[in-house]
């Protein structure tokens, strides 16, 4: 909503990733309209609904080569913040065409937010009293907290394993072998986050609807975390990457993919 320019990937060719192009659009172009979205959380983001109605874009607004837009979306230079396009960059550094590092960042964020939900719910359960005793003394509340902790800790263990691999493997090895694992753990981490936000809201009861924090002991409104969990839970694409690894479409047979996952994904080894 706050941007004056949009970088968009538009369909200029056939189906699939090879038919997308990058273009720079001016917000003031005829046919472009923006409307603020009434989101349930993350209000400072300025999330807007943008409508394109027969927008005429000059050919000079094309970024890079026509129909190579998807490659630019996926492409990130290693080692430094290079913003050159593949067709024009002269730096002798390898490209990667995946979302491994972005997915790793989502895993870190989702796992930490899950802990925030658990920590607030844990403290609140010790402070809040119902039926003459602390909330945490009810078995069902203890079960909720234990289940949240179980899922958070297992996700953190997978995150540490993945981080170790990203630090010890070469860039080429990461590109080839970690895409499926990054996608799988991201899908798991965001689902755990959504679960923890929901269970924390159940423990808080009506207090989960609080949107403002007036003192240090007040809960940090787990309901406000739920939209983050749902927005981060882009599991369809992640599961597609996992499926490609499991079916051998990533360049390995199913047996090779399974062997690699079992041998060095969960045991922190190397190929």
Q: How big is the chain, counted in residues?
A: 271
What gap in Å lies between CA 224 and CA 247, rounded to an integer? 38
Residues contacting 81, CB < 8 A, separation 6+: none
CATH architecture of 100-265: Up-down Bundle (1.20)
Task: Establish how many alpha carbons lie within 13 A of residue 72's alpha carbon, considering only the half-sphere containing its beta carbon.
Answer: 24
Q: What is the pLDDT of residue 226?
A: 53
**What is the per-residue pLDDT across 57-116, written as a single tens digit (0 to 9) for each?**
999 999 988 998 888 887 744 433 444 555 555 444 455 567 888 899 999 999 999 999
CA distance 123 to 214: 16
Tell me the per-residue pLDDT of 148-193, one tens digit each, with 9 for 90 and over.
Answer: 999 999 999 999 999 999 999 988 888 888 888 899 999 999 999 9
Q: Is the pTM of this model over 0.75?
A: no
* Angstrom distance (rounded) from CA 266 to CA 156: 13
Q: Where are the domains of the chain?
A: 5-96, 100-265
**Do the two domains 5-96 and 100-265 of this chain adopt the same fold?**
no
CATH of 5-96, one of 2.40.110.10, 3.90.76.10, 2.70.98.10, 3.90.1530.10: 2.40.110.10
């Amino acid at each position: 909503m706050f941007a004056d320019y949009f970088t968009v990937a538009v369909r200029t060719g056939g189906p699939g990733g090879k038919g997308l192009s990058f273009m720079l659009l001016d917000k003031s172009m005829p046919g472009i309209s923006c409307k603020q979205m009434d989101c349930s959380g993350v209000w400072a983001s300025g999330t807007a609904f943008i409508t394109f109605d027969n927008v005429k874009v000059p050919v000079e607004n094309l970024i890079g080569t026509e129909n190579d837009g998807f490659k630019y979306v996926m492409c990130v230079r290693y080692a430094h913040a290079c913003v050159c396009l593949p067709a024009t960059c002269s730096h002798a550094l390898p490209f990667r065409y995946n979302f491994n590092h972005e997915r790793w960042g989502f895993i870190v964020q989702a796992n930490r937010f899950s802990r925030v939900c658990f920590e607030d719910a844990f403290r609140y359960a010790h402070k809040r009293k119902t039926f003459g005793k602390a909330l945490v003394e009810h078995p069902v509340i203890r079960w909720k907290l234990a289940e949240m902790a179980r899922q958070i800790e297992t996700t953190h263990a997978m995150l540490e394993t993945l981080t170790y691999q990203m630090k010890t493997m070469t860039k080429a090895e990461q590109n080839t072998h970690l895409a499926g694992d990054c996608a799988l753990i991201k899908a798991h981490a965001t689902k755990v986050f959504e679960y923890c936000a929901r269970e924390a809201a159940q423990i808080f009861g009506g207090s989960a609807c609080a949107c403002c924090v007036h003192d240090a002991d007040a809960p940090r409104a787990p309901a406000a975390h739920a939209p983050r969990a749902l927005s981060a839970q882009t599991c369809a694409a992640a599961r597609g990457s996992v499926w490609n690894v499991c079916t051998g479409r990533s360049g390995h047979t199913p047996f090779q993919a399974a062997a690699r996952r079992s041998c060095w994904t969960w045991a922190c080894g190397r190929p």
